DNA sequence: CCACATTTTGACCGTTGGTCAAATATTTTC
DNA sequence: GAAAATATTTGACCAACGGTCAAAATGTGG
């Protein structure tokens, strides 16, 4: 019965078990999607019973939302790290693009899950707590990118007359999400002749930035050098998904 | 036992019933999504039994895929109609943008369903016939847009050195899908201050076109006149979703 | 060692997608 | 036009699964 802020042994055990459950659920989601596994199987995997799972999560949807929010938190972390990059505003925006690819490489199932959250009656079945946690992490990623856009306009790198910062940020978010989803569509990949999905995503981001008139434009500057620095300083492990010919 | 190509009475009745089922399923999907209705309820609605439904569709997923493909066919029809617009290549591309908004307005549930198709184990449960039908309609929409891009490059409206036609088409498809999905996200709508979703989608398409250097650029030409003509000639009913201040 | 509190369990429930033998309707045959 | 043959429709039934809860197991304090 501790009144202190430090967790008791019980509380720590509870937390450790929750992470165990989440890690196994993440694996199942990655391997099988949402439908092709059930709570019984997950209970077997973590070596607890079904009833115990429901002490941590109100429903299967609540559990999946928790997995998704965990991933979203990591993405926000990567975004904040990328935003620290020293350079012009467009270079920093570019660093965010790398962060998003780094994330997508490590959590390839994430966008699928995120799409499920939008369509189904997921939100009704999830607990209020987890809904708020998800919204909070989503707001973090938005804020990081929007801050860079605001600064770019303040500095004059990005024309401020035609589009509001929010419009520009929204365009970047939309093209990024859309590109990640579309690159994961096998049929479209063949039609569009895509061999390097991450490169396609970043190309589309460049198109939006150029369309916004974000200086310096793609072909007026040596972004190859920028990219080298971003990778070296922020994402040394990016070579796993970065295909440079 | 007719050997002729014209359908017998039975075949016509079967076809009519299939359309009845599809129209009720479409309504249920629109009102309740995927989970919040079951095959029993659909059977009641069409005044047939569950068993009869399964003579038309191999599974609930197969049925939903059929609804989705129907919608996709209408979209392809609208695209082909829009591509006929007389004008510069970028104006025709713009007409496609209008077609997509017209479609999204009439089938607001479509993108949600389309996202379900990507994530879940939908395809396994659907019949081979319906899978092919869906791929065919998808290919139609791609082709229409890609043709315009190819022509634009041939005419010199669109620089052909930097991006391939497929890359340009892919960028437009990605930004469109991403924008439609994102505009349907209530939280993001507040964050981005979006009051007119369709306008946001079309703005993002313009940004990609400008980024590609598709002449004439957005602010070098009187596209307001173009838009008036597109609406008048192709989509007279667009006033329902077109908010012009 | 016992009494009490907490945690864990898995049998059980309701719902739902899907099946199939029986009932019903339709067509063919004589 | 009645009986036989064929085709269609039905809804009871099944299995799978998310979720619940009384009982068993475990832990705790005296």
pLDDT digits (tens, 9 = 90+) for A23-79: 999 999 999 989 999 999 999 999 999 999 999 999 999 999 999 999 999 999 999
Q: Do the domain assignments include residue B24?
A: yes
B161 touches strand D (CB under 7 A): no
Identify whether residues B33 and B67 lie together within a single domain.
Answer: no
SS3 content of chain B, % helix, strand, coil (to 5): 75, 0, 25
Whether A4 has a pLDDT exceeding 70, the answer reads no
Identify whether residues B153 and B202 lie together within a single domain.
Answer: yes
Identify whether residues B236 and B160 lie together within a single domain.
Answer: yes
Indicate yes or no: CB of B204 within 8 angstroms of CB of A175. Answer: yes
Listed residues B56, B84, B100: the one ending a domain = B56
Question: How far is it, in rounded angstroms, from Cα A226 to Cα A92?
Answer: 9
Strand C: which bases are under 7 Å from protein Cβ?
7-11, 15-21, 27-28
Q: What is the pLDDT of residues B72-127, one digit of tens each?
A: 999 999 999 999 999 999 999 999 999 999 999 999 889 889 988 887 678 999 99
Structure tokens of A230? 């971003």
Identify whether residues B47 and B70 lie together within a single domain.
Answer: no
Q: Do the domain assignments include residue B245?
A: no
Question: How far is it, in rounded angstroms, from Cα A99 to Cα A93?
Answer: 10
Identify whether residues A77 and A160 lie together within a single domain.
Answer: yes
Identify whether residues A177 and A69 lie together within a single domain.
Answer: yes
Identify whether residues B73 and B14 lie together within a single domain.
Answer: no
Angle between helices A9-32 and A39-46 (to 10 degrees): 130
Q: Do the domain assignments include residue B219?
A: yes
- Residues A119, A123, A129, A130, CA torsion sign: negative
| Angle, CA of B117, B125 and A26, to the nearest 5° | 60
Of A168, A172, A235, A231, the C-alpha closest to A202 is A172
Identify whether residues B19 and B140 lie together within a single domain.
Answer: no
Identify whether residues A195 and A75 lie together within a single domain.
Answer: yes
Count other Cβ atoms within 10 Å, centred on residue A225: 10
Look at chain B and report how many structural domains it folds into.
2
Question: How far is it, in rounded angstroms, from Cα A98 to Cα A95?
Answer: 5
Question: How far is it, in rounded angstroms, from Cα B122 to Cα B113?
Answer: 11
Report CA A162 to chain centroid distance, whole Å.
29
A30 touches B: beta carbon within 8 Å: no
Distances (CA, A) of A176 to A13, A33, B122: 39, 22, 25
| CATH number of the domain residue B48 falls in | 1.10.10.60
Strand D: which bases are under 7 Å from protein Cβ?
7-12, 16-22, 28
B49 touches strand D (CB under 7 A): yes
Identify whether residues B113 and B72 lie together within a single domain.
Answer: yes
A166 touches B: beta carbon within 8 Å: yes
Q: Do the domain assignments include residue B22?
A: yes
**Containing domain of residue A50, as a range?**
1-56
Q: Do the domain assignments include residue A49?
A: yes
A240 touches B: beta carbon within 8 Å: no
Nearest CA in chain A to B166: A192
Q: Check residue A7 and report its DSSP letter.
A: P
Count other Cβ atoms within 10 Å, centred on residue A80: 15
Nearest CA in chain A to B163: A203
Distance B57 CA to D7 C1' (A): 19
Identify whether residues A11 and A84 lie together within a single domain.
Answer: no
Question: How far is it, in rounded angstroms, from Cα A200 to Cα B230?
Answer: 31
- Residues A135, A141, A143, A145, CA torsion sign: negative
| CATH number of the domain residue A81 falls in | 1.10.357.10
B46 touches A: beta carbon within 8 Å: no
Indicate yes or no: CB of B115 within 8 angstroms of CB of A120. Answer: no
Identify whether residues A154 and A128 lie together within a single domain.
Answer: yes
Q: Do the domain assignments include residue B165?
A: yes
Q: Do the domain assignments include residue A245?
A: no
Q: What is the pLDDT of residues A98-127, one digit of tens each?
A: 999 999 999 988 988 998 888 767 899 999
């Amino acid at each position: 019965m501790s009144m202190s802020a430090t967790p008791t042994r019980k509380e720590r055990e509870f937390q450790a078990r929750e992470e165990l459950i989440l890690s196994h659920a993440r694996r199942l989601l990655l391997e099988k999607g949402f439908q092709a596994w059930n709570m019984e199987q997950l209970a077997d995997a973590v070596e607890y019973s079904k009833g115990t799972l429901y002490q941590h999560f109100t429903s299967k949807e609540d559990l999946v939302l928790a997995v998704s929010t965990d991933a979203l938190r990591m993405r926000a972390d990567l975004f904040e790290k990328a935003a620290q990059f020293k350079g012009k505003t467009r270079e920093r925006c570019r660093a965010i693009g790398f962060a998003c690819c780094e994330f997508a490489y490590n959590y390839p199932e994430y966008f699928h899950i995120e799409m499920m959250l939008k369509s189904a009656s997921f939100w009704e079945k999830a607990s209020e707590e987890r809904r708020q946690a998800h919204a909070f992490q989503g707001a973090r990623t938005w804020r990081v990118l929007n801050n860079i856009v605001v600064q770019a306009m303040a500095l004059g790198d990005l024309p401020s007359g035609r589009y509001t910062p929010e419009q520009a940020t929204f365009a970047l978010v939309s093209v990024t999400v859309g590109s990640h989803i579309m690159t994961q569509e096998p049929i479209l990949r063949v039609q569009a002749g895509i061999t390097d999905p991450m490169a396609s995503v970043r190309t589309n981001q460049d198109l939006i930035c150029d369309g916004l008139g974000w200086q310096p434009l793609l072909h007026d500057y040596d972004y190859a050098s920028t990219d080298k620095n971003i990778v070296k300083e922020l994402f040394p492990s990016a070579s796993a998904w970065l295909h440079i010919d």
